[in-house]
Amino acid sequence: MFESLSESLTKALDRLTARGRLTEVNIREGMREVRRALLEADVHYKVVKDFIDRVTEKAVGDEVIKSIRPGQQIVKIVKDELVQLLGPGRIPLAKSPSGPTVILVAGLQGSGKTTTCAKLAKMLDRKGGQPLLVAADTQRPAAVEQLKVLGEQIGVPVYSEPGGRPPRICERAVRQAKETDRDYVILDTAGRLHIDERLMAEVKEIADRVEPHEVLLVCDAMTGQDAVQSAKEFDAQLSLTGVILTKMDGDARGGAALSVRAVTGKVIRYIGTGEKAAALEEFHAEGMASRILGMGDVVSLVEKAQSAIDVEEATRLRDRLLADTLNMEDFRAQLRQLRKLGSLKDWLGLVPGLGSQLKGMDFDEKEIWKFEAIINSMTPRERRQPDVLNPSRRARIASGSGTQVVEVNRLVKEFKHMKKMLKGMRKSGALESMMGPGALKGMGKKKAKKSKLRRW
Ligand SMILES: Nc1nc2c(ncn2[C@@H]2O[C@H](COP(=O)(O)OP(=O)(O)O)[C@@H](O)[C@H]2O)c(=O)[nH]1
Ligand SMILES: [Mg+2]
Protein backbone atom coordinates (compact mmCIF):
# COMPACT_ATOMS: atom_id res chain seq x y z
CA MET A 1 0.00 0.00 0.00
CA PHE A 2 1.38 3.39 -1.01
CA GLU A 3 4.80 1.90 -1.51
CA SER A 4 6.40 4.76 -3.35
CA LEU A 5 5.02 7.42 -0.99
CA SER A 6 6.19 5.39 1.93
CA GLU A 7 9.62 5.00 0.39
CA SER A 8 10.15 8.65 -0.44
CA LEU A 9 8.83 9.82 2.92
CA THR A 10 10.98 7.47 4.93
CA LYS A 11 13.98 8.43 2.82
CA ALA A 12 13.45 12.12 3.54
CA LEU A 13 12.96 11.47 7.24
CA ASP A 14 15.88 9.05 7.46
CA ARG A 15 18.13 11.80 6.19
CA LEU A 16 16.99 14.01 9.02
CA THR A 17 17.39 11.36 11.67
CA ALA A 18 20.82 10.44 10.35
CA ARG A 19 22.16 13.86 11.34
CA GLY A 20 22.89 14.36 15.00
CA ARG A 21 22.15 18.04 15.17
CA LEU A 22 19.73 19.91 12.98
CA THR A 23 19.54 23.52 11.93
CA GLU A 24 16.48 25.30 10.70
CA VAL A 25 17.98 25.16 7.21
CA ASN A 26 18.29 21.35 7.41
CA ILE A 27 14.72 21.05 8.58
CA ARG A 28 13.31 23.27 5.85
CA GLU A 29 15.29 21.26 3.32
CA GLY A 30 13.84 18.04 4.72
CA MET A 31 10.34 19.51 4.59
CA ARG A 32 10.80 20.32 0.92
CA GLU A 33 11.47 16.65 0.30
CA VAL A 34 8.42 15.66 2.32
CA ARG A 35 6.37 18.09 0.27
CA ARG A 36 7.64 16.63 -2.98
CA ALA A 37 6.81 13.12 -1.77
CA LEU A 38 3.23 14.13 -0.96
CA LEU A 39 2.69 15.97 -4.22
CA GLU A 40 4.06 13.04 -6.18
CA ALA A 41 1.56 10.83 -4.36
CA ASP A 42 -1.18 13.07 -5.78
CA VAL A 43 -2.19 14.59 -2.46
CA HIS A 44 -4.27 17.73 -2.98
CA TYR A 45 -1.88 20.73 -3.21
CA LYS A 46 -3.71 22.71 -0.58
CA VAL A 47 -3.68 19.80 1.82
CA VAL A 48 0.06 19.46 1.24
CA LYS A 49 0.66 23.13 1.91
CA ASP A 50 -1.25 23.11 5.21
CA PHE A 51 0.44 19.91 6.25
CA ILE A 52 3.94 21.22 5.58
CA ASP A 53 3.16 24.50 7.30
CA ARG A 54 1.97 22.75 10.42
CA VAL A 55 4.87 20.31 10.58
CA THR A 56 7.45 23.02 9.90
CA GLU A 57 6.07 25.30 12.54
CA LYS A 58 6.38 22.58 15.15
CA ALA A 59 9.70 21.26 13.87
CA VAL A 60 11.74 24.46 13.76
CA GLY A 61 10.94 25.32 17.35
CA ASP A 62 13.75 25.44 19.90
CA GLU A 63 12.38 22.44 21.68
CA VAL A 64 13.06 20.21 18.72
CA ILE A 65 16.32 21.73 17.52
CA LYS A 66 17.89 21.68 20.97
CA SER A 67 16.70 18.20 21.82
CA ILE A 68 19.04 15.24 21.88
CA ARG A 69 17.49 13.50 18.88
CA PRO A 70 15.78 16.15 16.79
CA GLY A 71 15.29 13.83 13.80
CA GLN A 72 13.21 11.40 15.86
CA GLN A 73 11.09 14.23 17.13
CA ILE A 74 10.38 15.35 13.60
CA VAL A 75 9.35 11.84 12.61
CA LYS A 76 6.92 11.90 15.50
CA ILE A 77 5.55 15.29 14.44
CA VAL A 78 5.06 14.04 10.88
CA LYS A 79 3.32 10.95 12.14
CA ASP A 80 1.00 12.86 14.44
CA GLU A 81 0.09 15.24 11.66
CA LEU A 82 -0.54 12.33 9.30
CA VAL A 83 -2.91 10.85 11.86
CA GLN A 84 -4.69 14.20 12.11
CA LEU A 85 -4.93 14.43 8.36
CA LEU A 86 -6.34 10.93 7.95
CA GLY A 87 -8.95 11.77 10.51
CA PRO A 88 -10.55 9.80 13.27
CA GLY A 89 -10.76 6.17 12.41
CA ARG A 90 -12.70 3.33 13.95
CA ILE A 91 -16.16 4.81 13.93
CA PRO A 92 -18.45 1.82 14.25
CA LEU A 93 -21.48 1.50 12.01
CA ALA A 94 -24.57 3.25 13.28
CA LYS A 95 -27.17 0.97 14.82
CA SER A 96 -30.84 1.62 14.59
CA PRO A 97 -32.48 1.56 18.02
CA SER A 98 -35.44 -0.27 16.53
CA GLY A 99 -35.91 -2.10 13.27
CA PRO A 100 -33.20 -2.72 10.71
CA THR A 101 -30.20 -0.44 10.28
CA VAL A 102 -30.22 0.81 6.71
CA ILE A 103 -26.93 1.39 4.90
CA LEU A 104 -27.02 3.14 1.55
CA VAL A 105 -23.97 2.54 -0.60
CA ALA A 106 -23.38 5.01 -3.43
CA GLY A 107 -20.56 5.80 -5.83
CA LEU A 108 -19.46 5.98 -9.43
CA GLN A 109 -19.68 3.00 -11.73
CA GLY A 110 -16.81 0.59 -11.26
CA SER A 111 -15.72 2.09 -7.96
CA GLY A 112 -16.47 -1.19 -6.21
CA LYS A 113 -19.95 -0.64 -4.75
CA THR A 114 -21.36 -4.11 -5.36
CA THR A 115 -18.21 -5.82 -4.14
CA THR A 116 -18.12 -3.59 -1.07
CA CYS A 117 -21.78 -4.27 -0.24
CA ALA A 118 -20.97 -7.98 -0.18
CA LYS A 119 -17.89 -7.33 1.95
CA LEU A 120 -19.91 -5.31 4.46
CA ALA A 121 -22.56 -8.02 4.57
CA LYS A 122 -19.94 -10.65 5.22
CA MET A 123 -18.38 -8.58 7.97
CA LEU A 124 -21.76 -8.03 9.65
CA ASP A 125 -22.64 -11.69 9.27
CA ARG A 126 -19.37 -12.68 10.93
CA LYS A 127 -20.15 -10.41 13.82
CA GLY A 128 -23.46 -12.16 14.35
CA GLY A 129 -25.64 -9.75 12.37
CA GLN A 130 -28.40 -10.68 9.93
CA PRO A 131 -27.84 -8.54 6.86
CA LEU A 132 -30.05 -8.33 3.80
CA LEU A 133 -28.46 -7.22 0.52
CA VAL A 134 -30.60 -5.23 -1.88
CA ALA A 135 -30.02 -5.08 -5.62
CA ALA A 136 -31.03 -1.50 -6.31
CA ASP A 137 -28.88 -1.12 -9.39
CA THR A 138 -31.32 -1.82 -12.18
CA GLN A 139 -29.27 0.07 -14.76
CA ARG A 140 -27.55 -3.07 -15.86
CA PRO A 141 -29.23 -6.48 -15.56
CA ALA A 142 -25.80 -7.99 -14.89
CA ALA A 143 -25.48 -5.94 -11.70
CA VAL A 144 -28.39 -7.75 -10.04
CA GLU A 145 -26.94 -11.08 -11.07
CA GLN A 146 -23.51 -10.06 -9.72
CA LEU A 147 -24.95 -9.28 -6.29
CA LYS A 148 -26.91 -12.52 -6.26
CA VAL A 149 -23.77 -14.52 -6.98
CA LEU A 150 -21.85 -12.71 -4.25
CA GLY A 151 -24.73 -13.15 -1.81
CA GLU A 152 -24.74 -16.85 -2.51
CA GLN A 153 -21.00 -17.07 -1.92
CA ILE A 154 -21.16 -15.43 1.48
CA GLY A 155 -24.49 -16.95 2.48
CA VAL A 156 -26.43 -13.69 2.76
CA PRO A 157 -29.90 -13.27 1.20
CA VAL A 158 -30.34 -10.81 -1.67
CA TYR A 159 -33.55 -8.88 -2.27
CA SER A 160 -34.27 -8.12 -5.91
CA GLU A 161 -37.22 -7.42 -8.16
CA PRO A 162 -37.48 -8.19 -11.85
CA GLY A 163 -38.59 -4.66 -12.74
CA GLY A 164 -39.51 -1.55 -10.89
CA ARG A 165 -37.84 1.64 -9.82
CA PRO A 166 -34.96 1.50 -7.35
CA PRO A 167 -36.52 3.82 -4.72
CA ARG A 168 -39.58 1.58 -4.55
CA ILE A 169 -37.46 -1.56 -4.53
CA CYS A 170 -35.47 -0.22 -1.58
CA GLU A 171 -38.60 0.72 0.29
CA ARG A 172 -40.08 -2.74 -0.13
CA ALA A 173 -36.76 -4.36 0.78
CA VAL A 174 -36.62 -2.46 4.06
CA ARG A 175 -40.18 -3.49 4.78
CA GLN A 176 -39.33 -7.10 4.09
CA ALA A 177 -36.26 -6.85 6.34
CA LYS A 178 -38.51 -5.65 9.16
CA GLU A 179 -40.93 -8.49 8.63
CA THR A 180 -38.21 -11.11 8.51
CA ASP A 181 -36.17 -9.69 11.38
CA ARG A 182 -33.05 -8.86 9.41
CA ASP A 183 -31.09 -6.29 11.35
CA TYR A 184 -29.14 -4.66 8.53
CA VAL A 185 -30.20 -3.66 5.04
CA ILE A 186 -27.43 -2.85 2.56
CA LEU A 187 -28.56 -1.00 -0.55
CA ASP A 188 -26.37 -1.49 -3.62
CA THR A 189 -27.29 1.48 -5.79
CA ALA A 190 -26.55 2.27 -9.42
CA GLY A 191 -23.56 4.31 -10.50
CA ARG A 192 -22.66 6.07 -13.71
CA LEU A 193 -19.35 6.88 -15.25
CA HIS A 194 -19.82 10.52 -14.34
CA ILE A 195 -22.06 12.25 -11.90
CA ASP A 196 -25.24 13.30 -13.67
CA GLU A 197 -28.52 14.70 -12.53
CA ARG A 198 -30.62 11.63 -13.13
CA LEU A 199 -28.33 9.45 -11.12
CA MET A 200 -28.25 11.92 -8.25
CA ALA A 201 -32.02 12.35 -8.33
CA GLU A 202 -32.46 8.60 -8.09
CA VAL A 203 -30.08 8.09 -5.18
CA LYS A 204 -31.57 11.08 -3.42
CA GLU A 205 -35.04 9.68 -3.82
CA ILE A 206 -33.89 6.41 -2.32
CA ALA A 207 -32.38 8.25 0.63
CA ASP A 208 -35.56 10.28 1.12
CA ARG A 209 -37.75 7.22 1.10
CA VAL A 210 -35.76 4.89 3.33
CA GLU A 211 -33.94 7.41 5.56
CA PRO A 212 -30.71 5.43 5.82
CA HIS A 213 -28.67 5.41 9.04
CA GLU A 214 -25.47 5.37 7.05
CA VAL A 215 -24.79 6.83 3.62
CA LEU A 216 -21.43 5.51 2.57
CA LEU A 217 -19.66 6.60 -0.56
CA VAL A 218 -17.44 4.07 -2.28
CA CYS A 219 -14.41 5.67 -3.94
CA ASP A 220 -11.76 4.04 -6.03
CA ALA A 221 -8.47 5.01 -4.37
CA MET A 222 -6.65 4.46 -7.66
CA THR A 223 -8.37 7.49 -9.16
CA GLY A 224 -6.73 9.88 -6.71
CA GLN A 225 -8.10 13.42 -6.78
CA ASP A 226 -11.03 12.37 -8.97
CA ALA A 227 -12.22 10.25 -6.08
CA VAL A 228 -12.00 13.23 -3.77
CA GLN A 229 -13.89 15.41 -6.23
CA SER A 230 -16.68 12.86 -6.56
CA ALA A 231 -16.92 12.65 -2.77
CA LYS A 232 -17.44 16.40 -2.64
CA GLU A 233 -20.22 16.28 -5.22
CA PHE A 234 -22.00 13.30 -3.72
CA ASP A 235 -21.82 14.88 -0.28
CA ALA A 236 -23.46 18.05 -1.50
CA GLN A 237 -26.50 15.99 -2.50
CA LEU A 238 -26.58 13.14 -0.06
CA SER A 239 -24.98 14.12 3.27
CA LEU A 240 -22.55 11.27 3.43
CA THR A 241 -21.77 9.64 6.74
CA GLY A 242 -18.47 8.30 5.53
CA VAL A 243 -16.25 7.12 2.73
CA ILE A 244 -15.00 3.67 1.82
CA LEU A 245 -11.81 3.65 -0.21
CA THR A 246 -11.44 0.62 -2.42
CA LYS A 247 -8.54 -0.90 -4.36
CA MET A 248 -6.03 0.11 -1.75
CA ASP A 249 -4.22 -3.11 -2.64
CA GLY A 250 -3.45 -1.81 -6.09
CA ASP A 251 -0.87 0.82 -6.86
CA ALA A 252 -2.93 3.71 -5.55
CA ARG A 253 -0.49 6.47 -4.73
CA GLY A 254 -2.12 7.72 -1.57
CA GLY A 255 -3.59 10.98 -2.85
CA ALA A 256 -7.21 10.02 -2.23
CA ALA A 257 -6.61 8.61 1.23
CA LEU A 258 -4.61 11.61 2.39
CA SER A 259 -6.83 14.28 0.88
CA VAL A 260 -10.40 13.07 1.21
CA ARG A 261 -10.89 13.93 4.87
CA ALA A 262 -9.30 17.38 4.65
CA VAL A 263 -11.08 18.34 1.43
CA THR A 264 -14.54 16.94 2.16
CA GLY A 265 -14.60 16.68 5.94
CA LYS A 266 -15.86 13.12 5.50
CA VAL A 267 -14.26 10.32 7.46
CA ILE A 268 -12.82 7.21 5.87
CA ARG A 269 -14.65 4.31 7.48
CA TYR A 270 -13.34 1.24 5.69
CA ILE A 271 -10.77 0.34 3.11
CA GLY A 272 -11.05 -2.35 0.46
CA THR A 273 -7.85 -4.29 0.02
CA GLY A 274 -8.70 -6.92 -2.57
CA GLU A 275 -11.39 -8.49 -4.69
CA LYS A 276 -12.38 -11.20 -2.22
CA ALA A 277 -15.27 -10.76 0.17
CA ALA A 278 -12.98 -10.79 3.20
CA ALA A 279 -10.81 -7.95 1.89
CA LEU A 280 -12.37 -5.12 3.88
CA GLU A 281 -10.60 -3.48 6.78
CA GLU A 282 -11.79 -1.01 9.33
CA PHE A 283 -9.89 2.18 8.81
CA HIS A 284 -7.44 3.23 11.51
CA ALA A 285 -5.73 6.55 11.01
CA GLU A 286 -3.00 5.65 13.44
CA GLY A 287 -2.26 2.33 11.78
CA MET A 288 -2.38 3.83 8.32
CA ALA A 289 0.05 6.59 9.28
CA SER A 290 2.39 3.99 10.74
CA ARG A 291 2.15 1.92 7.60
CA ILE A 292 2.93 4.92 5.44
CA LEU A 293 5.99 5.63 7.54
CA GLY A 294 7.08 1.99 7.30
CA MET A 295 6.41 1.34 11.00
CA GLY A 296 3.84 -1.44 10.66
CA ASP A 297 0.28 -1.59 11.95
CA VAL A 298 -0.32 -3.89 14.87
CA VAL A 299 -4.03 -3.26 15.28
CA SER A 300 -4.85 -4.23 11.70
CA LEU A 301 -2.54 -7.20 11.99
CA VAL A 302 -4.46 -8.62 14.92
CA GLU A 303 -7.85 -7.91 13.36
CA LYS A 304 -6.84 -9.45 10.10
CA ALA A 305 -5.63 -12.58 11.83
CA GLN A 306 -8.85 -12.90 13.77
CA SER A 307 -11.02 -12.65 10.71
CA ALA A 308 -8.99 -15.01 8.55
CA ILE A 309 -8.52 -17.85 10.96
CA ASP A 310 -11.18 -20.48 11.18
CA VAL A 311 -11.83 -20.78 14.89
CA GLU A 312 -13.13 -24.32 14.80
CA GLU A 313 -10.09 -25.49 12.92
CA ALA A 314 -7.79 -23.51 15.20
CA THR A 315 -9.44 -25.03 18.26
CA ARG A 316 -9.08 -28.53 16.86
CA LEU A 317 -5.42 -27.90 16.08
CA ARG A 318 -4.85 -26.55 19.53
CA ASP A 319 -6.31 -29.69 21.07
CA ARG A 320 -4.02 -31.79 18.92
CA LEU A 321 -0.98 -29.72 19.76
CA LEU A 322 -1.64 -30.17 23.44
CA ALA A 323 -2.21 -33.89 23.08
CA ASP A 324 1.04 -34.73 21.28
CA THR A 325 -0.74 -36.62 18.53
CA LEU A 326 0.18 -34.14 15.83
CA ASN A 327 0.56 -35.69 12.39
CA MET A 328 0.97 -34.61 8.79
CA GLU A 329 -2.76 -34.03 8.41
CA ASP A 330 -2.61 -31.43 11.15
CA PHE A 331 0.46 -29.96 9.56
CA ARG A 332 -1.41 -29.64 6.29
CA ALA A 333 -4.39 -28.04 8.02
CA GLN A 334 -1.98 -25.55 9.51
CA LEU A 335 -0.48 -24.76 6.12
CA ARG A 336 -3.96 -24.21 4.73
CA GLN A 337 -4.72 -21.72 7.47
CA LEU A 338 -1.50 -19.95 6.63
CA ARG A 339 -2.43 -19.85 2.97
CA LYS A 340 -5.86 -18.43 3.77
CA LEU A 341 -4.20 -15.48 5.36
CA GLY A 342 -3.37 -14.31 1.85
CA SER A 343 -0.20 -12.69 0.71
CA LEU A 344 2.61 -13.22 3.15
CA LYS A 345 4.19 -9.98 2.05
CA ASP A 346 1.06 -8.01 2.94
CA TRP A 347 1.07 -9.58 6.34
CA LEU A 348 4.67 -8.94 7.07
CA GLY A 349 4.21 -5.32 6.00
CA LEU A 350 1.96 -4.89 9.01
CA VAL A 351 4.63 -6.08 11.41
CA PRO A 352 6.29 -3.09 13.06
CA GLY A 353 9.86 -2.65 11.96
CA LEU A 354 9.58 -5.00 9.03
CA GLY A 355 7.68 -2.80 6.58
CA SER A 356 10.59 -0.79 5.31
CA GLN A 357 12.87 -3.79 5.13
CA LEU A 358 10.52 -5.70 2.91
CA LYS A 359 10.58 -3.35 0.00
CA GLY A 360 11.60 -5.05 -3.19
CA MET A 361 11.66 -8.41 -1.49
CA ASP A 362 9.67 -11.25 -2.94
CA PHE A 363 8.30 -14.00 -0.79
CA ASP A 364 8.17 -17.47 -2.07
CA GLU A 365 4.59 -18.34 -1.37
CA LYS A 366 5.00 -21.31 -3.67
CA GLU A 367 6.80 -22.94 -0.81
CA ILE A 368 3.55 -23.35 1.11
CA TRP A 369 1.83 -24.81 -1.91
CA LYS A 370 4.71 -27.19 -2.39
CA PHE A 371 4.54 -28.47 1.16
CA GLU A 372 0.84 -28.97 0.75
CA ALA A 373 1.31 -30.84 -2.53
CA ILE A 374 3.82 -33.15 -0.88
CA ILE A 375 1.45 -33.97 1.98
CA ASN A 376 -1.35 -34.53 -0.53
CA SER A 377 0.76 -37.19 -2.22
CA MET A 378 1.13 -39.17 0.97
CA THR A 379 -1.11 -42.07 1.83
CA PRO A 380 -3.44 -41.60 4.81
CA ARG A 381 -1.23 -43.92 6.81
CA GLU A 382 1.89 -41.93 6.00
CA ARG A 383 0.15 -38.76 7.06
CA ARG A 384 -0.97 -40.20 10.34
CA GLN A 385 2.31 -41.99 11.07
CA PRO A 386 5.08 -39.96 9.47
CA ASP A 387 7.62 -42.31 11.00
CA VAL A 388 6.97 -44.85 8.25
CA LEU A 389 8.38 -42.46 5.65
CA ASN A 390 11.38 -44.46 4.46
CA PRO A 391 13.51 -43.49 1.42
CA SER A 392 11.44 -45.43 -1.10
CA ARG A 393 8.21 -43.88 0.15
CA ARG A 394 9.81 -40.46 0.01
CA ALA A 395 10.91 -41.03 -3.58
CA ARG A 396 7.37 -42.05 -4.53
CA ILE A 397 5.91 -38.98 -2.83
CA ALA A 398 8.40 -36.71 -4.58
CA SER A 399 7.48 -37.99 -8.01
CA GLY A 400 3.78 -37.98 -7.15
CA SER A 401 3.87 -34.35 -6.11
CA GLY A 402 6.23 -33.16 -8.81
CA THR A 403 8.90 -32.25 -6.28
CA GLN A 404 12.40 -33.43 -5.36
CA VAL A 405 13.28 -35.91 -2.66
CA VAL A 406 15.30 -33.20 -0.89
CA GLU A 407 12.13 -31.16 -0.62
CA VAL A 408 10.25 -34.07 0.88
CA ASN A 409 13.11 -34.53 3.31
CA ARG A 410 13.00 -30.89 4.25
CA LEU A 411 9.28 -31.06 4.97
CA VAL A 412 9.73 -34.11 7.19
CA LYS A 413 12.58 -32.38 8.97
CA GLU A 414 10.49 -29.25 9.56
CA PHE A 415 7.65 -31.34 10.85
CA LYS A 416 9.88 -33.23 13.28
CA HIS A 417 11.47 -30.02 14.41
CA MET A 418 8.08 -28.52 15.13
CA LYS A 419 7.01 -31.59 17.07
CA LYS A 420 10.15 -31.51 19.13
CA MET A 421 9.70 -27.88 19.91
CA LEU A 422 6.10 -28.43 20.93
CA LYS A 423 7.14 -31.26 23.19
CA GLY A 424 9.59 -29.00 25.01
CA MET A 425 6.95 -26.33 25.36
CA ARG A 426 4.38 -28.79 26.58
CA LYS A 427 6.77 -30.05 29.28
CA SER A 428 7.43 -26.58 30.57
CA GLY A 429 3.73 -25.72 30.56
CA ALA A 430 4.39 -22.87 28.15
CA LEU A 431 2.15 -24.33 25.50
CA GLU A 432 -0.82 -24.59 27.76
CA SER A 433 -0.57 -21.06 29.02
CA MET A 434 -0.08 -19.85 25.47
CA MET A 435 -2.99 -21.76 24.06
CA GLY A 436 -5.48 -21.78 26.89
CA PRO A 437 -9.08 -20.81 26.17
CA GLY A 438 -8.09 -17.18 26.60
CA ALA A 439 -5.94 -17.40 23.50
CA LEU A 440 -8.98 -17.73 21.35
CA LYS A 441 -11.04 -15.06 23.05
CA GLY A 442 -12.64 -12.64 20.67
CA MET A 443 -11.93 -14.63 17.55
CA GLY A 444 -15.05 -14.64 15.33
CA LYS A 445 -17.42 -14.98 18.24
CA LYS A 446 -20.20 -16.62 16.34
CA LYS A 447 -18.15 -19.60 15.28
CA ALA A 448 -16.38 -19.90 18.61
CA LYS A 449 -19.68 -20.60 20.26
CA LYS A 450 -20.35 -23.51 17.95
CA SER A 451 -17.04 -25.25 18.52
CA LYS A 452 -16.98 -26.95 21.84
CA LEU A 453 -14.17 -25.21 23.63
CA ARG A 454 -12.71 -27.72 26.00
CA ARG A 455 -11.95 -26.73 29.50
CA TRP A 456 -8.43 -27.07 30.80
N1 LIG B 1 -8.18 -5.06 -6.26
C2 LIG B 1 -9.38 -4.68 -5.83
N3 LIG B 1 -10.42 -4.73 -6.68
C4 LIG B 1 -11.63 -4.33 -6.24
C5 LIG B 1 -11.82 -3.85 -4.91
N6 LIG B 1 -13.12 -3.53 -4.79
C7 LIG B 1 -13.71 -3.78 -5.98
N8 LIG B 1 -12.81 -4.27 -6.86
C9 LIG B 1 -13.02 -4.65 -8.26
O10 LIG B 1 -13.47 -3.53 -8.98
C11 LIG B 1 -14.35 -3.94 -10.01
C12 LIG B 1 -15.66 -3.17 -9.96
O13 LIG B 1 -16.35 -3.54 -8.79
P14 LIG B 1 -17.93 -3.49 -8.63
O15 LIG B 1 -18.22 -3.87 -7.24
O16 LIG B 1 -18.61 -4.25 -9.70
O17 LIG B 1 -18.17 -1.92 -8.85
P18 LIG B 1 -19.54 -1.11 -8.96
O19 LIG B 1 -19.76 -0.84 -10.40
O20 LIG B 1 -19.27 0.15 -8.21
O21 LIG B 1 -20.60 -1.93 -8.34
C22 LIG B 1 -14.54 -5.43 -9.86
O23 LIG B 1 -13.70 -6.08 -10.77
C24 LIG B 1 -14.09 -5.70 -8.43
O25 LIG B 1 -13.59 -6.98 -8.27
C26 LIG B 1 -10.68 -3.79 -4.04
O27 LIG B 1 -10.74 -3.36 -2.88
N28 LIG B 1 -9.49 -4.22 -4.56
MG1 LIG C 1 -22.40 -2.54 -9.03
Per-residue pLDDT tens digits of the chain, which is 456 residues long: 788 898 889 888 888 888 878 888 888 999 999 999 999 999 999 999 999 999 999 888 877 777 777 888 888 889 899 999 998 877 889 999 889 999 999 999 889 999 999 999 999 998 889 999 999 998 877 889 999 999 999 999 999 998 889 999 999 999 999 999 999 999 999 887 767 788 888 999 999 999 999 999 999 999 888 888 889 889 988 889 999 999 998 778 888 889 999 998 999 999 999 999 988 999 989 888 888 887 766 556 656 666 666 666 667 777 776 777 778 888 888 777 766 666 656 666 665 555 555 555 545 567 778 888 999 999 999 999 999 999 999 999 999 999 999 999 989 988 888 788 777 777 776 656 555 444 444 333 333 333 333 222
Q: 3-class SS at 176?
A: helix
Q: Please identify, by atom number, the ligand 1 atom nearest to the C-alpha of residue 108.
A: 20
* Alpha carbon nearest to ligand 1 atom 7, residue: 112
pTM for this entry: 0.70
Residues near 311 by Cβ (< 8 Å), separated by ≥ 6? 440, 443, 444, 447, 448, 451
Q: How far is the CA of 112 from the centre of ligand 2 (A)?
A: 7
Pocket of ligand 1 (CB under 6 A): 107, 109-115, 191, 246-247, 249-250, 272-275, 279
DSSP single-letter state for residue 2: -
Q: Which of 137, 275, 343 to mutate to test the pocket of ligand 1 (most atoms within 8 A of CB)?
A: 275
Q: How far is the CA of 115 from the centre of ligand 1 (A)?
A: 6
For 104-142, the DSSP string reads: EEEE-TTSSHHHHHHHHHHHHHHTT--EEEEEE--SSHH
* Alpha carbon nearest to ligand 1 atom 1, residue: 274
Superfamily of domain 101-295: P-loop containing nucleotide triphosphate hydrolases (3.40.50.300)
- pLDDT value, residue 20: 75
Q: How far is the CA of 133 from the centre of ligand 1 (A)?
A: 17
Q: How far is the CA of 137 from the centre of ligand 2 (A)?
A: 7
For the chain, counts of helices (H) and of strands (E): 22, 8
* Alpha carbon nearest to ligand 1 atom 22, residue: 112
Position 119: which residue type? K
Residues near 95 by Cβ (< 8 Å), separated by ≥ 6? 101, 213
- pLDDT value, residue 301: 62
Backbone φ and ψ of 109, nearest 5° = -65, 135
Contact between residue 104 and residue 171 where contact means Cβ atoms under 8 Å apart: no
Superfamily of domain 306-450: Signal recognition particle, SRP54 subunit, M-domain (1.10.260.30)
The highest-level CATH class for domain 3-86 is mainly alpha
For 54-86, the DSSP string reads: HHHHHHTSHHHHTSS-HHHHHHHHHHHHHHHHH
Contact between residue 188 and residue 158 where contact means Cβ atoms under 8 Å apart: no
Domains of the chain, by residue range, sit at 3-86, 101-295, 306-450
- pLDDT value, residue 26: 87
Cα–Cα dist 138/398, whole Å: 53
Cα–Cα dist 354/349, whole Å: 6
Cα–Cα dist 387/406, whole Å: 17
- Annotate 199-231 with b (16+ C-beta within 10 A) or e (fewer): bbebbebbbeebebbbbbbbbbbbbbbebbbbb
* Alpha carbon nearest to ligand 1 atom 25, residue: 275
Same fold, 3-86 and 306-450: no
Shortest-distance ligand to the CA of residue 107 = 1
Q: 3-class SS at 242?
A: strand
Q: How far is the CA of 278 from the centre of ligand 1 (A)?
A: 13
Residues near 421 by Cβ (< 8 Å), separated by ≥ 6? none
